[in-house]
Structure 1
Amino acid sequence: MTIREAKLEDIDTINQLNTYPLNHEYPLEEAKKQLSYLLSSPVNKLFVQELEGRVVGYIQLSEYVCTYGPKLMNVMALVVDENIHGQGIGKSLLNHAEQWAQEEDAKGIRLNSGVERTEAHKFYEHQGYVRVKNQVNFRKLFD
């Protein structure tokens, strides 16, 4: 198994993983534009894991800096092909992200997970993550 930085050519698989199992449907061409931006951004990183030459999961991180705490890295997404859950891929991606975050002088990692994703919560807790709070997520989209 290999972990590497994502490439624009990975967008088809990344978009497929976003759609299922994450349930984030987004037009492929728009996702490609977003990935292109992320790959050029100095404060974002996207790593993919390959198994037998095929991308089977990814983790996306973004710098989280505020005036009330230390610099952290924010996990924006962590997803593994559901057909191969339980093989250590999520753990390996998370460990890789933690190592990269330390190299970037981050003091830790934060993440949000939907309340319905109880299996993911168990996974994060098993990896040493501590539930900090419950919150409500708001959004306002512009035309």
Structure 2
Amino acid sequence: MTLTTIEASGTRYALRRAERDDVEAILELLAGDVLRREESRSDDAAALRAFEVIDADASQLLVVVEGPGGAIVGTMQLSFIPGLSRGGATRMQIEAVRVDEALRGGGIGAAMIEWAIGCARERGARLVQLTSDARREAAHRFYERLGFEASHVGFKLAL
């Protein structure tokens, strides 16, 4: 089911909730990331289990962007996080934004993020946040052009 259509470089794309059959295409987009972290994945069954959990959770929205020919050309995951800080505000976290490498720079990513921000407003979120690997300087410039500020230092602990 199409959530909306977006337009970039004169082409219309369908933005829709991801389905189980989209997982392989999503994994391919993730593997195409400039840092190539997901390339070494070895357990597609784990990815399918993760998809089932995401899909069943009303606070999660995994979306895909479908091109005119039906190919998946983009994806992102939106997580709505209620919290006690900021006066009980809900935050929306944007994760795993990817656009097919051949289509980058054509406005698809900007249209995706603009739609996501609208989605956050509709659901009453008071803050939209995302993280980006420190080495992804082009991505940082992209998010700054869209109005995001580099405001925090992030930390990770691999388990």
Distance in structure 2 (CA, Å) of the matches to 1:64 and 1:121: 23
Q: Which residue, 46, 61, 69 being the options, matches 1:30?
A: 46
Alignment partner, residue 66 of structure 2? 50
The Cα offsets for residues 55-97 of structure 1, whole Å up to 9 and x where unpaired, read as 1011101122332222110112111111110111111111111
Q: Percent identity of the aligned residues? A: 26
Aligned partner of 1:71: which letter? T
Alignment partner, residue 104 of structure 1? 123
Structure 1 residue runs of 4 or more that deviate by more than 6 Å after TM superposition:
none
Distance in structure 1 (CA, Å) of the matches to 2:37 and 2:65: 20
Matches within 5 A, 1:122-141: 122-140=141-159
TM-score, length basis structure 2: 0.82
The unaligned stretches of length 5 or more in structure 2 are 1-12
TM-score, length basis structure 1: 0.91
Aligned partner of 2:37: which letter? N
The Cα offsets for residues 41-60 of structure 1, whole Å up to 9 and x where unpaired, read as 11100111111211101110
Aligned partner of 1:8: which letter? R
Is 2:108 aligned against 1:89?
yes
Q: Secondary structure at the match of 1:120?
A: helix
The Cα offsets for residues 28-52 of structure 1, whole Å up to 9 and x where unpaired, read as 2211111121111111001111112
Alignment partner, residue 3 of structure 1? 15
Distance in structure 2 (CA, Å) of the matches to 1:44 and 1:15: 18
Number of residue pairs matched?
140
Matches within 5 A, 1:9-20: 9-20=21-32
Aligned partner of 1:98: which letter? I
What is the RMSD of the two structures over their aligned residues, measured on CA atoms?
1.4
Give how far 1:23 is off: 2.2
Alignment partner, residue 135 of structure 2? 116
Give how far 1:134 is off: 2.1
Alignment partner, residue 75 of structure 1? 94
Alignment partner, residue 61 of structure 1? 78
Aligned partner of 1:96: which letter? W
**Contact 1:59–1:97 (CA under 8 A) maintained in structure 2:** no
The Cα offsets for residues 11-35 of structure 1, whole Å up to 9 and x where unpaired, read as 1100111222152243222111111
